[in-house]
């Protein structure tokens, strides 16, 4: 396996395919870099360098007790980018990975970044607060924590249904895709998976989004049952100065079927432009 060691001694797994301008992918919770395999292959076959890592505590990366917080996730991404000396990069983040990308820019700037793609991303803030009344109530995230703590295998099996919109009429998502979601979830360490819930739900990325000063594609399905579009992409698009909002009618949170094909085409168009 290809790994590098962060400054706090954590070994992180990453994939590095192809050559050309780097396109760096950050995955959602509780998944790993394999969730991006279709897009990694797509961009590598079209003249780009595709890079994706397993977040600490997830997939094939080490599972330290410490560092399961958004600042450390962002710093890990920065260390990977510096380790590979990536420049003029396109950063692509899905769900929690979108928060990771936003926090990376908030902490490290855009000196090595040319463009950003936020897909079904959690920014600016998922949790309902007095200042964010459109967010989801704390009880939703407490339920996720309890599901992970009590029986994460069954929880991930069940979660794959709304993740891919399998509970919607006309859905044709395969059982194999849902099984792959379960498998990636089970590869995440319990401590990391539990801790990450607070990071994707309660982290406020408003200031990070305001620091994005490169062209940004904000893409989101309007039937996303995991990260509802109203409190996420629609608000992010008003906070990122040079951004374009792309809404996929009827699309769920996870990439599947026609939604995946449409996003792939938009991704290639955006990074080529």
Q: What's the whole-number mean pLDDT along residues 241-252? A: 97
Whole-angstrom distance, CA of residue 262 vs CA of residue 57: 31
Q: Is 67 left (phi over 0), alpha (psi -120 to 50) or beta?
A: left
Residue 224 known to be catalytic:
yes
Residue 61 known to be catalytic:
no
Given 26, 61, 95, 243, which residue is catalytic? Answer: 95
Strand 3-5 relative to strand 22-26, pairing: unpaired
Confidence check: pLDDT of 143 > 90? yes
What pLDDT shows up at residue 1?
Answer: 79
Residue 253 known to be catalytic:
yes
Given 34, 76, 224, 236, which residue is catalytic? Answer: 224
Comparing CA positions, the residue from 251, 249, 242 lying closest to residue 270 is 242
Confidence check: pLDDT of 242 > 90? no
Angle of helix 138-163 versus helix 190-202 axis, rounded to 10? 110
Comparing CA positions, the residue from 236, 30, 27, 205 lying closest to residue 125 is 205
pTM above 0.85, yes or no: yes
Is residue 221 within 8 A of residue 251, CB to CB? The reply is yes
Cα-flanking dihedrals φ and ψ of residue 65, to 5°?
-70, -35
Quickly tell me which residue has 């951004």 as its tokens: 243
Mean pLDDT (the chain, rounded): 98
- Tens-digit pLDDT profile for residues 99-119: 999 999 999 999 999 999 999
Confidence check: pLDDT of 153 > 90? yes
Given 27, 53, 220, 253, which residue is catalytic? Answer: 253
Is residue 99 within 8 A of residue 93, CB to CB? The reply is yes
Q: Quick one: what percent of the chain has pLDDT higher than 70?
A: 100
Q: What's the whole-number mean pLDDT along residues 60-86? A: 98
- Tens-digit pLDDT profile for residues 172-223: 999 999 999 999 999 999 999 999 999 999 999 999 999 999 999 999 999 9
Dig out the tokens for 34 from the structure: 């394999």
Q: What's the whole-number mean pLDDT along residues 147-159? A: 98
What pLDDT shows up at residue 32?
Answer: 98
What pLDDT shows up at residue 256?
Answer: 96
């Amino acid at each position: 396996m290809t790994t590098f060691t962060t400054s706090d001694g954590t070994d992180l797994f990453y994939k590095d395919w192809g050559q050309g301008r780097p396109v760096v992918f950050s995955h959602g919770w509780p998944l790993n870099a394999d969730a991006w395999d279709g897009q990694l292959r797509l961009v590598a076959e079209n003249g780009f360098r595709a890079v994706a890592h397993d977040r600490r505590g997830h997939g094939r990366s080490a599972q330290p007790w410490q560092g399961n917080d958004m600042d450390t996730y962002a710093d890990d991404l920065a260390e990977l980018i510096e380790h590979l000396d990536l420049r003029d990069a396109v950063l692509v983040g899905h769900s929690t990975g979108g928060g990771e990308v936003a926090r990376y820019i908030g902490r490290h700037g855009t000196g090595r970044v040319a463009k950003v793609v936020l897909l079904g991303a959690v920014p600016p803030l998922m949790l309902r607060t007095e200042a964010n009344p459109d967010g989801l109530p704390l009880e939703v995230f407490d339920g996720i924590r309890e599901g992970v703590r009590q029986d994460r295998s069954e929880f991930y099996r069940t979660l794959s249904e709304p993740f891919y919109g399998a509970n919607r009429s006309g859905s044709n998502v395969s059982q194999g895709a849902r099984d792959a979601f379960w498998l990636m979830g089970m590869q995440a360490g319990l401590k990391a998976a539990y801790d990450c819930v607070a990071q994707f739900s309660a982290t406020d990325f408003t200031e990070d989004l305001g620091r994005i000063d490169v062209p940004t594609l904000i893409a989101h399905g309007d039937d996303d049952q995991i990260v509802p579009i109203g409190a996420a992409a629609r608000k992010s698009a008003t906070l990122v100065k040079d951004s374009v909002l792309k809404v996929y009618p009827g699309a769920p949170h996870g990439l599947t079927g026609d939604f995946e094909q449409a996003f792939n085409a938009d991704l290639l168009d955006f990074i080529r432009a």
